Amino acid sequence: CLLLVDSSESMQYGSVDAKKGGRTKFEYGCSLAACLAYLLLRQQDAVGLIRFDQSVRTVLPPRAARHQLHDILAALYAASAEGKTSMLDVLKRAAEVQPKKGLIVLISDLFADRASLFQGLKLLRHAGHEVLVFHLLDDEELDFQSSGMTRYEGLEELDQLVCDPRALREGYIAALQEFLDEVRRGCARQMVDYQVVRSSENLDAVLAKYFSMRLGLGKRRA
């Protein structure tokens, strides 16, 4: 298994105060990747890691060695979220790092060019890999429940915007749904497993859903 963790600047976002248990998307993504690595290594599966933004920043080839979990944790928690996201080059590199057929897990908010994302997913599928996408989004990004005049600071070089979010909510929700539908359809076309994950969700619930899906997939293929 190869875990791909997005550390682009948009992954810095987190709408809940850290003192109340809130985490940025990047922090949540690191925790999710760490849990997956632990569980898979317990099964004696080989696990690797790629951390990326606009380019690949960290590469740990898949191994089942006892020290691999320590190396993955060190790579994740020494990192910070920065830069833009470039999916195609990252997914091409993933195919190089894991040349044998296997499972590739992408953990990202997918705020990148969708054409390059779908092209990269197609490349991985044609190489025979199983691919799982955890589409990680914050509650506020999904629900847009803010009220009163609010200043939004763009990430990845976007400008600031001061507005009353109630006036924008209907259009925002429609645009968000279009975005999610586009990604879901693009993944379905490539037979890529796709799961939207809220950064407020308990990790055990996310992992239970994942393993339930994997079990069902195994039964269908059997």
Q: Tell me the CB-side half-sphere exposure of residue 26, using CA atoms within 13 A.
A: 19
For the whole prediction, is pTM greater than 0.75?
A: yes
Residue pair 39/141 in contact by the 8 Å Cβ criterion:
no
Q: Using a pLDDT cut of 90, give the percent of the chain over it.
A: 64
pLDDT value of position 210: 81
Q: What string of DSSP letters covers 153-197?
A: EPSTTPPEEEE-HHHHHHHHHHHHHHHHHHHHHHHHHTT-EEEEE
Burial 120-133, CB ≥16 within 10 A → b, else e: bbbbbbebebbbbb
Give the angle subtended at the CA of 155 by the CAs of 187 and 49, to the nearest 5°.
50
Confidence band for 18, pLDDT divided at 50, 70 and 90: very low
pLDDT value of position 46: 96
Q: Which of 7-11, 19-23, 53-57, 132-136 has the lowest mean pLDDT?
A: 19-23
pLDDT higher than threshold 80 for residue 101 = yes
